[in-house]
Structure 1
């Protein structure tokens, strides 16, 4: 439930907030009103987008995920996995800036990095079973060692330009590899092994909880290519090298789409469409969906469904029964 919070005047010339975009700053201020009395909240971009950006359809959950990544990189929030296996976040400087009169007990797990001595909601006291940092927590683009040569080959130009192109792509990964408080990089192997195809279907719902690190439904098939390879192909197809922020944003979206099990050829088609019609990187998801579902039908149009006549405007004929006999 939303609460009235305090924003100090110093926040508007805070150097930490100046490191993030204006949209991420608004998301941070919105989190102040949505977090519980201990500064904790679910780490789910779709939920946060619905709470903080309900009337801004252009700012989707993809943008909110980027906002959260910026806030975590600036040390303003800490993203962690609770003892129940779900992802949470908390505002790092909450106790310094928010004075809560008679705070209610938190129902959410405490942060193992900053609030180890605090009360854990599920444990009803000091957390008795600490969970490791979530391998599913959204982070920067992973760049495996194998595609490194591919990126250099696609960058083109002199060896110095190739190295600069690769360094720009890999810079985000190196920053994510350094552990910030309460954050861990992606682990090399997933702790959730895919189910054996020979096993019978387990009872219960097959709907995946977006906040759970232990899904019970089907796991996405392993991608044959990596996100860095697909983005490298996109960079090679461009006449001029796109800005590093655009490349990083496209890389995060591409990795997320691969994680959902979307075929690489659909993502490659979406990237080709994006290269031909460059817009904000967030539209890549829509372009991939267009490539996947290009044959989905809609309202009748000429040539779309030959057996259904196209709509004709009313022309107020003298004899309506004769002119519109088929439609009437």
Structure 2
């Protein structure tokens, strides 16, 4: 089966090809496509003439035979005979095949190699396995059972059935390290009271935010209620449940205010004002600011905080009901 091959520019400047006729050179270039992935082909001039000179009837089997003779005389191809299946079969191969052709995935060998230029592939030698004797491994610094025990490793008797260190392991002193005493670990592997008390009182976790307040030895600091809890209280106080988009927007605004460190009571008061006024959720920061910093009541002392700010006098139909708190 013909194959796609590579023709280098140097082929047209080759002295060997220049020494043969033009027909022999054309036959040689055609043999590149007829040879298998190892550069070999059947030495059959009539078959090659039909494959390479099919539209040139004037150049038949005799012409191809003359071409092969010229190519073999200039060491471009090598013709050889192999005895197979009780008969002699003629083969040929391109001598400089491996020098000019690079096959990525060559096919299997179907033609015998040339006895003059190629030798049959020798069977692969079995892999040599080097067995390192056990004393040699220990001599190069490997850890042996005695070496592990000498350098403070845990032995079988040093571990209790529950994984805790026993007294025998505590008395085994290591080089440059102090062994753990028996009271330092409980029988189940947990820390006992004597292991903590010699090092001072328990001051709680070491990694603590410097802005938090220490309420006890290990008591956690009180946490602000999450935004979802405040929104749940807001929705429960409403006469009708607000739309989900309003609640979601309020929850995001509440989370931002709590993240700034604003007191949850102030946020709760702002939500109460928002519930009464029924404003846009984006106004919640302004309402929280009003709850935190607004001065309640009139601008003169002596009036309760429920009295609204100063307003112009009007003539209501029922003055006693309209100005009951001020009168």
Q: TM-score, normalised by structure 1?
A: 0.36
Q: Which has the higher contact order (CA 8 A, sep 6+)?
A: 1
The normalised TM-score by structure 2 is 0.36
